[in-house]
Every structure is written in structure tokens, then in C-alpha cells.
Amino acid sequence: MKKITTTISLLVSILFVSGNLLAQDYTTDDILGYWLNEEQDGKVHIYQENGKYYGKLIWLKNAIDEETGKPKLDKHNPDDELKKRPTKGIILMSDFEYEGDGLWEEGDIYDPKSGKTYSCYMKLKAMDQLKVRGYIGISLIGRTTYWTRTTQ
């Protein structure tokens, strides 16, 4: 019986140590930089300002409206004044706070394709992969997308 207890203790210790070795140590600023969305039609610059994190849409694959030949506008925005602004340059993500363990919460994400704003959290899955989850109310009701780190 003692041999079984010792073996189980050893296995638990090995699992604990290997789990800690595989865990990534993230810092508050690991999210900073440039991220390509899952559809690869938009690039977001995530930056920090006054202790919170924001994301600005800096590149669009199709930034020009084919009908007008001018920059695409934020035409789905519910605010009539904001419908006149170009989509490129919009602050899509706002007010995120670092919670530790590669997780940023308490923020909002704006979807220019629908004109809707959602609660959101972001979690680094690896240094070059970011899980972005937008939701209404509770995070169980929402959509997840994965972004890839890229260069400017």
C-alpha cells in the first residue's frame, strides 16, 4: 500500500511540475502590438493608455468603397454622426484591464460590420495568438475569434 501511495504522490508531483513548466508567464504588455484578424481583412494596433488597453483599426484589406471610390465609412454605426467617419482609424477596442495570466477583461469591442458594440475579453493563447471573445451579458452568449500577431 505504501508503494502505491508513493507512486501516486510521485505522479501528481510530476504532473504539477510539468504543468507549471508548460504554463506561459505573461506580462501586462505582452498584448501590445499589431494583430491580424481571423478573416485577414483587418489589422488592429493594440496599445496602452492611462493603464488601460485599446485597439485601433489601422489597416483594411478593402479600405476603399467600390461604389464611391472613397474610403469606406462606418455606415452601420447607430450614431448618424459617426456614420460619416472612415472605418480605418476607428478605436474598435476600449477600456481593457489586465487581470493576470494573459487575460484582459472589462473592455468593449465594436464591430464595424454590424455597428454593434459588445462586452469583450482577450486571452493570449500563445505569444502570437490572441483569443478575442465578444459577448452580450455573459460570456457564454457570444462569438470567439482568434487573431495572429503581425508586424506593423
For residue 46, what are the domain limits?
26-150
pLDDT band at 98, cuts 50/70/90?
very high
Domain-located, residue 103? yes
- Give the single-character DSSP code of 9: H
Coil, helix or strand for 136?
A: coil
Query: 33, 47 in Cβ contact below 8 A?
Result: no
Contact 90, 82 (CB under 8 A): no
The total of other beta-carbon atoms located within 10 Å of residue 44's CB is: 25
**Given this model, what pLDDT does residue 139 score?**
80
Residue 84's domain is classified under what CATH number?
2.40.128.520
Q: What is the mean pLDDT of the chain?
A: 87
Minimal CA–CA distance to 128: which of 148, 146, 144, 100? Answer: 148
Assess if residue 20 is contained within a domain: no
Question: Taking a C-beta distance cutoff of 8 angstroms, is the pair 102, 123 a contact?
Answer: yes
Asked, for residue 17, whether it belongs to a domain, the answer is no
Which of 30-34, 44-48, 63-67, 122-126 comes out lowest in average pLDDT? 63-67
Give the confidence band of 2 by pLDDT, cuts at 50, 70, 90: low
